[in-house]
C-alpha cells in the first residue's frame, strides 16, 4: 500500500513539473511584439519627457535629424539658416540618405531574412512609379534611412524626443508661436506627432481635436517632419519588418490604425500643417 502511495506521489509530482515546464516554455515563446509593447508602456510612465515649468524651457532635450544629400548645397544653406533662427539652442545632425546603389545591394539579403516582402522586392526592381504606397528605390532609401536614425536613438543612454526632417522643409512665419502652442497642449500620452503630412478630409471633420492636435486613425501622406517620443522607438523597429509599403503607409497600418501607438497631426488655427515640404506632391530629392 505504501509503495502504491509513493508511486502515486511521484506521478503527481511529475505531472506538476511537466505543467510548470510547459508554462515556462510558453511564456518564453510568447516574448514577441506584445512583450515589447508592455515594456514600452512601462518605460513611458517612468520617463519624464516634455514637462514644462516656469524655470524650464520647452523641449530642453530635443534633438533634430536632417535627412540631406550633401550635393544639394542650396538646401543646406536654407535649412541651416532656418534652424539657427527657429531652433538656435537645439543640436542637430545631418544624415546622408542610404545610397541607391546600397539599396539595390541589400535587397536580396533583406528578402532572404524576411525583412522585405516579395512584392516590394519586385516593385523596387521593376523601376515602376509608386502606386498606392508601393516602394521605389528612392522611397526604400528613405525608409532605410529612417530605420538607421531609429537605431541610433535606440542606443542613446538618455531618452530624448527627436525630430526627423527632410531637407526640403520650410517654416512659415507663424511657426515659432504655433510650435510652442503645440508643445504646451501635448496630451499626457503621445508617441508620434506629424508636423508635415496630409490625412483624408473626413479625418479633420470627425476628429476630436485637442487644441491644434488632430488624432490620426488612418494612413498619412508624407513623412517630411515627424516628432517622436523616445520610448516608441523599440516598437517602431519591431513593427517595420517585413518592409512592405512606404513608411507613411506601413507605420500607420501596423501601429496607428491598430491603436498600438497614439499619433497626432499638428496644425495651426487655419488647419495648415506647421511645416511644409517643397516637393510634397512631387517627391523629395532626399528620397
Mapping DSSP to helix (H, G, I), strand (E, B) and coil, where does residue 135 land? coil
267, β-bridge pairs = 273
Query: Where are the domains positioned within the chain?
Result: 60-277
Per-residue pLDDT of 175-214, as tens digits, reads: 999 998 888 888 888 999 999 876 655 555 455 555 578 8
198, β-bridge pairs = 221
Q: How many CB atoms lie within 10 A of CB 220?
A: 23
Mapping DSSP to helix (H, G, I), strand (E, B) and coil, where does residue 13 land? helix
* 36 within 8 A of 235, measured Cβ to Cβ: yes
**How confident is the model over 145-161, as a mean pLDDT?**
94
pTM over 0.85: no
60-277 under CATH 3.90.550, yes or no: yes
Q: Evaluate if residue 225 carries a pLDDT over 80.
A: yes
Which grid cell sits at 10? 511521484
Q: Evaluate if residue 25 carries a pLDDT over 50.
A: no
Residue 99: pLDDT band (50, 70, 90) is very high
pLDDT of residue 56: 38
Sign of the CA dihedral with 101 first, then 104, 109, and 111 last = positive
For the chain, the average pLDDT equals: 80
Rounded to the nearest 10 degrees, what angle do helices 118-126 and 137-154 cross at?
Answer: 130
Amino acid at each position: 500500500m505504501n509503495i502504491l502511495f509513493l508511486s502515486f506521489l511521484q506521478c503527481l509530482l511529475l505531472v506538476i513539473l511537466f505543467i510548470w515546464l510547459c508554462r515556462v516554455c510558453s511564456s518564453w515563446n510568447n516574448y514577441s511584439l506584445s512583450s515589447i509593447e508592455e515594456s514600452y508602456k512601462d518605460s513611458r510612465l517612468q520617463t519624464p519627457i516634455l514637462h514644462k515649468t516656469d524655470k524650464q524651457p520647452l523641449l530642453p532635450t530635443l534633438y533634430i535629424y536632417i535627412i540631406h544629400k550633401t550635393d544639394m548645397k542650396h538646401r543646406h544653406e536654407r535649412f541651416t539658416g532656418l534652424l539657427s533662427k527657429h531652433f538656435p539652442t537645439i543640436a542637430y545632425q545631418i544624415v546622408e540618405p542610404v545610397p541607391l546603389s546600397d539599396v539595390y545591394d541589400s535587397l536580396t539579403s533583406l528578402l532572404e531574412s524576411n525583412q522585405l516582402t516579395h512584392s516590394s522586392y519586385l516593385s523596387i526592381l521593376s523601376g515602376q512609379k509608386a502606386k498606392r504606397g508601393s516602394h521605389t528605390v528612392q522611397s526604400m532609401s528613405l525608409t532605410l534611412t529612417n530605420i538607421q536614425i531609429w537605431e541610433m536613438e535606440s542606443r542613446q543612454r538618455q531618452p530624448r524626443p527627436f525630430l526627423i526632417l527632410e531637407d526640403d522643409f520650410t517654416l512659415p512665419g507663424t511657426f515659432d508661436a504655433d510650435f510652442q502652442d503645440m508643445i504646451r497642449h501635448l496630451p499626457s500620452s503621445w508617441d508620434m506627432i506629424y508636423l508635415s503630412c496630409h490625412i483624408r478630409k473626413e479625418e479633420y471633420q470627425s476628429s476630436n481635436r485637442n487644441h491644434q492636435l488632430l488624432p490620426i486613425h488612418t494612413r498619412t501622406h508624407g513623412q517630411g517632419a515627424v516628432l517622436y517620443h523616445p520610448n516608441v522607438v523599440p516598437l517602431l523597429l519591431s513593427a517595420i519588418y517585413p518592409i512592405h509599403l512606404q513608411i507613411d503607409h506601413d507605420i500607420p497600418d501596423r501601429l496607428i490604425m491598430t491603436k498600438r501607438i497614439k499619433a497626432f497631426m499638428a496644425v495651426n488655427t487655419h488647419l495648415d500643417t506647421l511645416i511644409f515640404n517643397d516637393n510634397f506632391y512631387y517627391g523629395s530629392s532626399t528620397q
